[in-house]
Amino acid sequence: MKKIYIKTWGCQMNEYDSIMITNLLEKKNGYKTTNIPEKADVLILNTCSIREKAQEKVFHQLGRWKKLKNKNTSIIIAVGGCVASQEGEEIFKRANYVDIIFGPQTLHRLPKMLGQVEKNNLSIMDISFPLLEKFKNTSHYEKIGYTAFISIMEGCNKYCSFCVVPYTRGREVSRPCDDILFEISELADKGVREINLLGQNVNAYQGLTFDGKICYFSELLRLVAEIDGIDRIRFTTSNPLEFTDDIINVYRDTPKLVSFLHLPVQSGSDKILQLMKRSYTTDQYQKIIEKLIHVRPNIQISSDFIVGFPGESEKDFQKTLDFINKINFDMSFSFIYSHRPGTPASEMIDNTPIEEKKKRLYILQDNINQKTMIWSKKMLGSIQNVLVEGISKKNIMELSGRTENNRIVTFKGSPKMIGKFVPLKIKQTHTHLLKGEII
């Protein structure tokens, strides 16, 4: 039995894609997954191009794998994901020992490509965008946990000035509503209790129903909530531009939708948002949050921030800090701006020294961490409904699970509780970890 090794970088979409690749090769083509690259017959690198120097990171990894191929020339090396889509033929030029290049939308063609390489000993590249073809030719999880990620759409139409996603994953295309509901129903039958809907812009979802009508995101959320066995719903990532009132109203009447939202804002300066081509203002963003708090008073918000974007002054950065304080974010993913070739932002003048950018990032992250700790301390003594996911990674004598607001809680309990929701009283709080006790 041939063995595959997959190394995955990037977002949850990439993790989801790697699961589909694994299932495709194992269930339909007889491969077996290994965690040891030296034992693999096929080495697959599923890449991400969001951060700076993503390409160099890929070639450094390929250089390490080249040594394995020098020892065993029958090893097949495949590069997929967003860097593969962005770089294409350049990968073959710089690493002529690579056998296959495939994009995020052509991963389902990988078995056929592997067969062609084995038979003809030729390099193959397919980074086309055949819309939703991959979902019709792949299956979901074989090994089921109690929480699952479901991709409901692919691509992005926003073309933010700093982002490569529209170029690497294509334009927005939504999966048919009934396909999504069927997949989630199957997962629920296998014991999944929590669903996380995935997409570059999930709230832009417009999938067709069986009778040819359009199902919008708010309606999809309500339909998922009707599925027996699914008790908790999350989604990521959404765009403020399309966070409409009908979605906000779902928070009013659908308790299965968690009181936690990740809504990227990127900057607290309207000038920078305009340069980013985000197409909304901080005032518009704030009004969304105010509406959400009105219908779900206990909701907590996390966000994304880019620090040191071209043109960001000290005044712009201060506006971001002020906005963080105004919204009172719970947590964030924050990064120094990464220059991405081919994006409009890469042509902008950037005069801010890297040391200043690092300083700003430290200040922003320290600010957010303080707020995260405050939110965690508010949970002390509270009763939290926790989905128990398994044995704690830090203490095999304890169990671990997640609260509705995405905090990890460890506690002493019976293994019979795994896969169930358990009410816990929070006894200790740390920034990102809680200690609980069974009621």
Each residue of 245-254: pLDDT tens digit? 999 999 999 9
Q: Which residue has the tokens 């019979």?
A: 416
pLDDT one-digit tens code per residue, 400-413: 999 999 999 999 99
Give the mean model confidence (pLDDT) for residues 357-367. 97
Kindly report the average pLDDT of the chain as a whole number: 93
pLDDT one-digit tens code per residue, 228-271: 999 999 999 999 999 999 999 999 999 999 999 999 999 999 99
- Identify the residue with better confidence: 139 or 103: 103
With cut-offs at 50, 70 and 90, classify the pLDDT of residue 140.
low
Residue-level pLDDT at 430: 85
3-state helix, strand, coil in the chain (%, to 5): 40, 25, 35
Is the pLDDT reported for residue 144 higher than 70?
Answer: no
Residue-level pLDDT at 52: 67
Residue-level pLDDT at 422: 97
**% of the chain beyond a pLDDT of 90:** 80
Is the pLDDT reported for residue 351 higher than 80?
Answer: yes
Residue 145's Cα: distance from chain center in Å?
Answer: 18
**Exposed/middle/buried for 349, CB within 10 Å: 0-12, 13-18, 19+?**
exposed
CA angle 427, 428, 433 (to 5 degrees): 125
Indicate the helix (H) or strand (E) that contains 400: strand 399-402
Give the mean model confidence (pLDDT) for residues 62-89. 94
